Amino acid sequence: MKYLSKVRNIKARKLRRITLGALSACWFAVAQPAFGDDKVTYNPLNGKLHLPEVHVGDDLYEADLKREMIDGSMRFVLQKAELLSVPQGTGKVILRNAALVITADPKLGEGALGVIENGDVLFENDQIVKVGQNITDPDATVIDVTGKMVLPGFVDTHNHLWQSLIRGCGADKNVGGWIGECTATLKRPDIIDEKSAYATVRLSTLDVIATGVTTVVEWTHSYTPGWTNGSLRALEESGLRYVFAYYISVGGEQRIADIKCVKETVIDPNPVAYMQIGGHPTRSRIERLIVAADLAQELKVPLNVHLLENIEDRDDEPIKVLEDAGAFKPTLIVNHAVHLTDDEITFLAEKDVRVAHNPLSNMRLASGIMRFPDMHKAGMKIGLGLDGGTNDTSDMFATMKTAVGLQRALLLKADVSPTLEEILLAATMGGAQVLGMEDTIGSLTPGKQADIIVLKTDTVNFAPHWHPINQIVLNGRPSNVEYVFVNGRALKVKGKLLGVPEKEIVQAAEQAVQRIKDLLQQPEGEPEKLEVCSNGG
């Protein structure tokens, strides 16, 4: 018999009756209920109890109950229950009657964004099947999205998820000062162990999911095996489509063996996992960059580098270093690219170099403003990045608005690139193009993977709807993201992250920070005795 379970902080000793499906009549006999969890609310004046997560077999419900006297006993009687869970990557789902479906495919709807009014989206398992109006399928689960907006999931082309560890650090420093104060000391092999890496990366995955990101690039420094293993475990558990950009920083042949091991045992078996090789184009690290470029070519994956983030980086002639290292392949991805000359923009465009634009990070670190209009005009592929600890939070809406606003403030013109339409495309299809995944994600084109988000816009920050597409960029917040699907699997439903112990993850991250602060006051100790891939990651 299926039964209700995992009702948070309530000791249920007997289930009297349950009608599955409608859940129309069930009640608990409750002994000493404890309502300490902030997610559970109980009003003793009217006896009403709200449970945000009730598990019934494989389904998840949000339920309201009321305390009543039945057969001489006080019980909690079900008043209503709403299904939260949807097919997790299996079965058919129709998103029905959206006010706007923004497909990011001009062949499917109006304008460059491919907009469909009063539209539906049908996906089956991990694949988008159909978009349009009045779609029916008797075998599909229907989710009513009336009045809402449906669009492709956001693509975060550059992040350092582990840097939630150092949020708020070095707030008055440029990038060099920030590295010195916030990250340089963390290279000690005894500092970031597997548990700490897992805790901080897992915390950040929740943050990016909450803002509607469905694909994230984790540019990982991973100075120790534990750092690598913990990061991969967190990414695997998250359900995100992810790219593990593995930086060749230390270790020589062992580092290369580790990278190959991760690709073979973790990345390749996972349909939503990808690999890149990370590097830094400085003259002092050119030998390491050559190894990275060669390995990327051998593994047939992109090389991903930081380029001209700070004006002082020009002294190193990084583009010349990339040339000398043989790094200019068609899939090369560069992050930041703030201080490019006209000739360099032309050269990079001719080489089909792709760019991850990180406007909030560049602003925070006084790095400058990337020349988006000129790079866009040259035909460069541009996506958006959240960039870890120097963004301080994960908010793709703020990142889009900042990318638009910085150019207007710099050029004293309101009609410059990126327009609001262009920046929405950069956050979706543009990001997919940067990663070489434009045939897989980035739009709601039938046949692509079901990476989809739904925005709830009847909210105080968004309503009323004068120009709703513009308002996505200008008014949107992570709280407007109601549903997130990755590969057809729901990660956020009705504004709630599914199946995630948020409080425990936050506590684990706090404990990791305290542990590291304590260690930094002590002499360097022994690192964990681990190997990469030793724990399945």
* Tens of pLDDT, residues 452-470: 999 999 999 999 999 999 9
Query: Does residue 326 carry a pLDDT above 80?
Result: yes
Residues 404-408, mean pLDDT to the nearest whole number: 98
pLDDT at residue 55, rounded to an integer: 61
Q: What six digits make up the tokens of 313? A: 């980086």
| Residue 120, φ and ψ in degrees, nearest 5 | -125, 155
* pLDDT score, position 209: 98
For residue 46, the model assigns a pLDDT of 78
pLDDT at 472: 98
pLDDT for 138 beyond 70: yes
H or E, element range at 177: helix 175-178
Q: What is the pLDDT of residue 21?
A: 34
- What is residue 388's DSSP assignment? G
- Tens digits of residue pLDDT in 224-277: 889 999 999 999 999 999 999 999 876 678 889 999 999 999 999 999 999 999
Q: Concatenate the DSSP letters of all residues of 415-478 into one string.
A: SPSSPHHHHHHIIIIIHHHHTT-TTTSSS--TTSB--EEEE---STTT-S-SSHHHHHHHH--G
Measured at the CA of 239, the angle between CA 234 and CA 245, to 5 degrees, comes to 60
Average pLDDT, the chain: 88
Q: Each residue of 31-61: pLDDT tens digit? A: 333 333 445 677 777 778 777 766 655 556 6
At 355 the three-state DSSP class reads strand
Cis amide leading into 418 (omega within 30):
yes
Per-residue confidence (pLDDT) for residue 84, from 0 to 100: 65
- In angstroms and rounded to an integer, the radius of gyration of the C-alpha atoms of the chain is 25
Which of the four pLDDT bands, split at 50, 70 and 90, describes residue 536? very low
pLDDT in tens, 274-310: 999 999 999 999 999 999 999 999 999 999 999 999 9
**How far apart are alpha carbons 344 and 308 in whole angstroms?**
11
What pLDDT, on a 0 to 100 scale, did the predictor assign at position 17? 29
The topology (CATH level 3) of 154-518 is TIM Barrel (3.20.20)
Supply the pLDDT for residue 330. Answer: 87
Residue pointed to by tokens 């948070």 = 8
Convert the pLDDT of each residue in 164-213 to its tens digit: 999 999 999 999 999 999 999 898 988 999 999 999 999 999 999 999 99
**pLDDT for residue 476 is more than 70:** yes
Q: What is the 3-state secondary structure (H, E, C) of 262-325?
A: HHHHHHCCCCCEEEEEEECCCHHHHHHHHHHHHHHHHHCCCEEEEECCCHHHHHHCHHHHHHHC
pTM: 0.87
Q: How many residues does the chain have?
A: 537
* Eight-state DSSP code of residue 528: P
- Among 68-77, 382-391, 502-511, 518-527, top mean pLDDT goes to 502-511
Only one residue has tokens 């003793």, namely 44
Q: What is the pLDDT of residue 467?
A: 97
What residues contact 422, with CB distance under 8 A and at least 6 apart?
376
Is the pLDDT score of 118 beyond 90?
yes
What confidence score (pLDDT) does residue 29 get? 32
Considering the chain, tell me which residue range(s) the CATH 3.20.20.140 domain(s) occupy.
154-518
Question: Each residue of 336-377: pLDDT tens digit?
Answer: 999 999 999 999 999 999 999 999 999 999 999 999 999 999
